[in-house]
Every structure is written in C-alpha cells, then in structure tokens.
Structure 1
Amino acid sequence: MPRIEIAENPDEIRKGVEVIKQAWGVTDMSTIMKDLLTAIKFTGGLVLLAYEGDQVVGISFSLLAQRNRNLFLYSHMTGVIPEFRKTELGYSLKLRQREWAMEKGFDLVAWTFDPLQGLNSNFNLHKLGAIARTYRKNHYGTMMDSLNFGIPSDRVVAEWYVLSGHVKSRLNREYNSYGELPQAIITEEKGDYRIPKDIDLTLSDDYILIEIPRDINTIKKKNLEDAINWRIMTSDVYQHYFARGYVLMDFISRDGRNFQVASRILPQGVKKKTIF
C-alpha cells in the first residue's frame, strides 16, 4: 500500500502536478489554473480581473491563509499583459486588493518576490510600503520560465500592513530622503554592469544600503555565473541582517545603481515580530 506524506518542498509538489494530469486526463495546464482560481474564489479568496473593454488585461489572485495561527491574505500573483506593463494597472490592482483586505478585516497581505529584481523592489518597498525581513532559499525549487531559469529561486516575504501609517504615507506619495549610508555589499564594474566584490557583516547603523543589480536579467543573459554570484552573496547579507532585526523598507536609485534600504527601526504600524 502506498504511503501518504505531506508535501514539504516545491520539487515534491511538482511530482504531484504530474499525477493531476494523469488522474484527470488534463493535458492543458490552463484548465488546472482555471479550476484552482475557481476554488480560491469559492473558499473565500479574491480574484481580481482588469478589463480593457471586453478584454481581460490584468489579474490578481489571493488566498485566505494562516501561519502560526495568524490569519492573513496571501497574494500569489498580480500581473498584466505586456502592453500594460508600463502603466499603473498593477498598482491599481494592488490598491483594490488592499481595499478588499480591509473590508474583510485583514491587516496583513503577504507575498514573495525576488529581491534581485529592481523593478519589484521599487514597486513593493517604495511605492506600496511593504517591508521584508524573511529570506526563503530556493523557495519555488527549480523554475523553468524565462524570467527565473538558471539561478536559485530565493525570495523574500513581503509584509504589507495595509492599515499602517507607513503604508498610508507611501500611498500618499510621502517618501523618505536619505543621506550617505553605509553599504553592506561592495561592488565593482565589469563591463556595462556591476558585480559584488565583498560584503560587510559588521554594520550596526540604524539604516544601511544593500546594493542589487541594475538589471539582473541582462546579467543572466551575459554571464550566468555572475548572476549566481549575486544571488549567493546577497543571500548571506539578507540572512545576516534579518537575523539582527533589520527589515527592508525602501528602494532608491543613485548614479545608475540600485539599493534597498534596510532599517533597524521598524516603520510606523509594522508588527515587531514576523509570523513567517
């Protein structure tokens, strides 16, 4: 008799997807996605669609979730079709998600993002006012899509405290200004991009900078080893400073370089302890 176990990692879950295909005779993964979204909606989750006329051009879906007996809304995906990527549609979807969360009594919406993607850091940390203080190594296991293929799928967990003063300030476009801050990653130029040379794990300032690539996707295309090295060295930095109470709380660009701002001072309304 086969044994039954709880799936614990993405690679085990991937094997389960193959069983779904055989058990239900499904060959088109879009069928699975449609049924999954229907189940999310039926069980109290949120599925948002953005329309341009009769065409759906954006989607955001979220699950009701709990961790350590704390209930929250988990935002799994928010995306738009290519023609709308340079618009504010993604931002509008997140604002509607926030409204719904508050209507339902949630104070926390959470999701994961790749901390090496500068656009994501700007959107999540700077525009929305989310914070991050949990690092997940190879969170999704091996990923085969063009955006993620080739390097470990490490992620940070975004915590969006939708009722907090910090989030309200960011949504009102009230941003912080920073002077010179110590840097946890020392980088150097290599052709038309930068690579990490060393890390500094001795900092104890209230605010520090963590440099990330200007465009990690370009680096992956030019030299995969350099992209992997970015992942390895930033992983050490995130895990070290998160363990010491720092949180990612902002994103800035200076002189063509991208930096995340990590702080030992919690932004207004952010809970002292993470549930993740």
Structure 2
Amino acid sequence: MPRIEIAENPDEIRKGVEVIKQAWGVMDMSTIMKDLLTAIKFTGGLVLLAYEKDQVVGISFSLLAQRNKNFFLYSHMTGVVQEFRNTDLGYSLKLTQREWAIKNGFDLVAWTFDPLQGLNSNFNLHKLGAIARNYRRNHYGTMMDSLNFGIPSDRVVAEWFISSRHVKSRLNKKFKKYGELKNAVITEEKNDYRIPVDIDLELDDDYIAIEIPRDINSVKKKSIEDAITWRTMTSDVYEHYFSRGYALIDFYTENNRNFQVASKIIPEGIKRNIF
C-alpha cells in the first residue's frame, strides 16, 4: 500500500494538484478554484466580490485558520482587474473584510506578501497598519506567474490586528514621523535603479530603515541576477532583525527610494507572535 504523509512544502502540494486533475477528471484550473472558493464559503470563510455594474472587477477570499491553537482569519488573495489597480478598490475590499471579521469575533487577519514589492509594503504596512515579524523563505516554492517567476518566493507574514489602536490610527490617516533613520541595506546606483552592496546587522536603534527596490518588477526585467541579489541580501536582514524582536511597522518613500520601518517598539494593541 502507498504510504500516507502530511504535505510539508509547496512542491509536494503541487504534485497533489496533478492527482486532483486525474481523480476528478478536471483539467481546467478555474474549475478547481471555483470549487475551492465554494468550499471556503460553505465552511465559514469569506468570499467578497466587487462589481462594476454586472461585471466582477475585484475579489478577496479568506478562510478560517488556526496557529498554535489561536484562531484567526487568513486572507489568501485580494486582487482587482487591471483597470481598477490605481483606485482604492483593493482598500475597500480590505475594509469590508475587516468589518466582517470584527462582526464574526476575529481580532487578527493575516496574509503573506513579498517584502520587496514596494506597492504592497505601502498598502499593507503604511495604509492598513499591518505589521510583519516573520520571514518565510521560498514560501510558495517555484512560482510560474509573471509577478513572481525567476526569484525565490520569500514572504513575510502580515499581521493585521483589526481592533488595535495602531490599525485604527492608520485607517484614520494618522501617521507617525520617524526622523532620519539608519539604513540596514546599503545600496548604490546601477544604471537607472539601485542594488544592495552591503548590509548592516549591528543596528540597535528603536527604529531602523530597510531599503527595498523602487520597483523590483522592473529590476527583474533588466537583470534577474540583480533581483536575486536583492532577495538574498535582504533575506538575511529580515531574519536577523526579526530574531532580535524587530517588526516591520511602516513604509515611506524618500528621494525616489523605498524604505520599510522596522521597530523594536511593538505598537499598542499588537498581541503576541503566533507564527
């Protein structure tokens, strides 16, 4: 008899998808996604759709989750079609998700995001008030989509404590000024973008800056090697400072350069790390 094991990594899970196709005779992944979303909804999760007249232009779906016997809402995907990407539709979807989560007794919504994506860092850390203090190397294994292909799928875990004072302040557009911060990622100009040349793991200030690319997608198109350099050098920075109790709490742009703010001072209302 074949042995049965719990899947432990994304590449193992991918092999299981091939069995799903054969066992149910389904070759179209859109059918699998539809069935999965239906199951999430049926078992108490949340599926939000944004409509422009009769056309669906945005989606967000979340499932019930637990980590170390702590229950939370896991927000797997929130996305909008191309024509609505420069609007507040994604923000509106997250606010609706937050309202539903509070009504249903949750205090934490979590998801993962690529910390090198500046737009995501701005949205998650600055605009929504999520924090991040856990780094996961190659979280999704090899990814083949246009946004993620070519470099390891490292992610940080966003923790959105939806009833905390920190989140309420951000949603009310009350933002903190940090002054000049020491930068843990030393970069230099290369053609029309910057690349990391060194890292500083000796900083001990309450607040420090971590520089990320202005546009990692543009870097990948021009030099996949430089994009990989960004990934490998920053991964050491995140893991080091997270292990010392720092958390990403904010994002800012200065002189056309992107920076995340890492802090030893955890904002009020943020509960213990369950990840």
**TM-score, normalised via structure 1 length:** 0.99
Instruction: Name 1:41's counterpart in structure 2.
Output: 41
What is the alpha-carbon distance in structure 2 between the residues aligned to residue 190 and residue 55 of structure 1? 43
Identity of aligned residues (%): 81
**Map 1:7-156 → 2, pairs under 5 A:** 7-156=7-156
Specify the code of the residue in structure 2 equivalent to 1:166.
H
Structure 1 stretches of 4+ moved >4 Å: none
Instruction: Name 2:235's counterpart in structure 1.
Output: 235
Specify the code of the residue in structure 1 equivalent to 2:101.
A
Specify the code of the residue in structure 1 equivalent to 2:249.
M
What is the alpha-carbon distance in structure 2 between the residues aligned to residue 27 and residue 151 of structure 1? 27
> Gapped runs of 5+ residues in structure 2?
none
Offset from partner CA, 1:190-233 (integer Å, 9 cap, x none):
00000001000000000000000000001001000000000000
Instruction: Name 1:257's counterpart in structure 2.
Output: 257
Offset from partner CA, 1:240-259 (integer Å, 9 cap, x none):
00000000000000000000
Offset from partner CA, 1:81-107 (integer Å, 9 cap, x none):
001000000000000000000000000
Q: Give SS of 1:59's match.
A: strand
The answer to whether the aligner puts 1:274 opposite 2:264 as a matched pair is no
**TM-score, normalised via structure 2 length:** 1.00
Q: Give SS of 2:133's match.
A: strand
What is the alpha-carbon distance in structure 2 between the residues aligned to residue 270 and residue 204 of structure 1? 21
What is the alpha-carbon distance in structure 1 between the residues aligned to residue 37 and residue 216 of structure 2? 31
Matched residue count: 275
What is the alpha-carbon distance in structure 2 between the residues aligned to residue 112 and residue 199 of structure 1? 24
Shift of 1:45: 0.2
* Cα RMSD for the two superposed structures: 0.4
What is the alpha-carbon distance in structure 2 between the residues aligned to residue 9 and residue 27 of structure 1? 23
What is the alpha-carbon distance in structure 1 between the residues aligned to residue 268 and residue 56 of structure 2? 37
What is the alpha-carbon distance in structure 1 between the residues aligned to residue 16 and residue 183 of structure 2? 43
Specify the code of the residue in structure 1 equivalent to 2:20.
I
Instruction: Name 2:3's counterpart in structure 1.
Output: 3
Shift of 1:6: 0.5
Shift of 1:178: 1.9
Specify the code of the residue in structure 2 equivalent to 1:244.
R
What is the alpha-carbon distance in structure 1 between the residues aligned to residue 80 and residue 221 of structure 2? 24
What is the alpha-carbon distance in structure 1 between the residues aligned to residue 159 and residue 270 of structure 2? 9
Q: Give SS of 1:152's match.
A: coil
The answer to whether the aligner puts 1:158 opposite 2:158 as a matched pair is yes
Q: Give SS of 1:100's match.
A: helix
What is the alpha-carbon distance in structure 1 between the residues aligned to residue 112 and residue 27 of structure 2? 28
Q: Give SS of 1:252's match.
A: strand
